[in-house]
Amino acid sequence: MRVLIACEFSGIVREAFRKRGHDAWSCDLLPAEDKSYFHIEGDVLEHLNDGWDLMIAHPPCTRLASSGARWFSKRVAEQDSAIWFFMQFVHSQVSRVAIENPVGIMSNQYRKPDQIIQPWMFGHPESKATCLWLKGLPLLVPTNDVRAEMEKLPLSKRTRVHYASPGPDRWKERSRTMPGIAEAMADQWGGLA
């Protein structure tokens, strides 16, 4: 299966699919952190309709997530651009699409997500609600529920991503897909060929 992981620099999701024998590629404006050959550095919109069987898109959430709502009124043009970019994945010719983003305005601007997942559903004792808008794909089935374990941890550990230290790379740490979620995507959606 030809798989495009849109807006991914880490290679986490790409490599989960490649380990299972798929022709998976990531694409981002940034270079691949793992320096993989299977990464397209550039504008993903130029590659949306290159014959992919499956696309998992991670459009930037800075102007879409509820966590940034206090700045929305001062950044209307930037938000409109972010909505337009998100919708390019929705309207792509790819028949199987998952678009990932935090809870935010796309529930009103587009539609409610098909599913909201948490890292603790996939073996990571952390909380970070992640919305999935799906086209031609089933819901992602949890693989390793560690919620009870997570709830015993201090709040700062449970919400590690939320409390990440300020700095120039904070957004990178917050945007990474957890490996357990990537593995579930590759196992469940990669088997649909």
Position 103 pLDDT exceeds 80? yes
Here the tokens at position 67 are 């966590």
CATH of region 2-192: 3.40.50.150
Q: Would you list the domain boundaries of the chain?
A: 2-192
What percentage of residues in the chain have a pLDDT greater than 70? Answer: 83
What pLDDT is recorded for position 165?
60
> Using one digit for the tens of pLDDT, what is the confidence trace for 12-66?
999 999 999 999 999 999 999 999 999 999 999 999 999 999 999 998 776 666 5
Q: How far apart are CA 4 and CA 48, in angstroms?
A: 8
- Could you tell me the pLDDT band of residue 161, with boundaries at 50, 70 and 90? low
What pLDDT is recorded for position 174?
61
> Using one digit for the tens of pLDDT, what is the confidence trace for 64-98?
665 545 455 566 677 788 889 989 999 999 999 99
Position 113 pLDDT exceeds 70? yes
Position 166 pLDDT exceeds 70? no
Position 7 pLDDT exceeds 60? yes
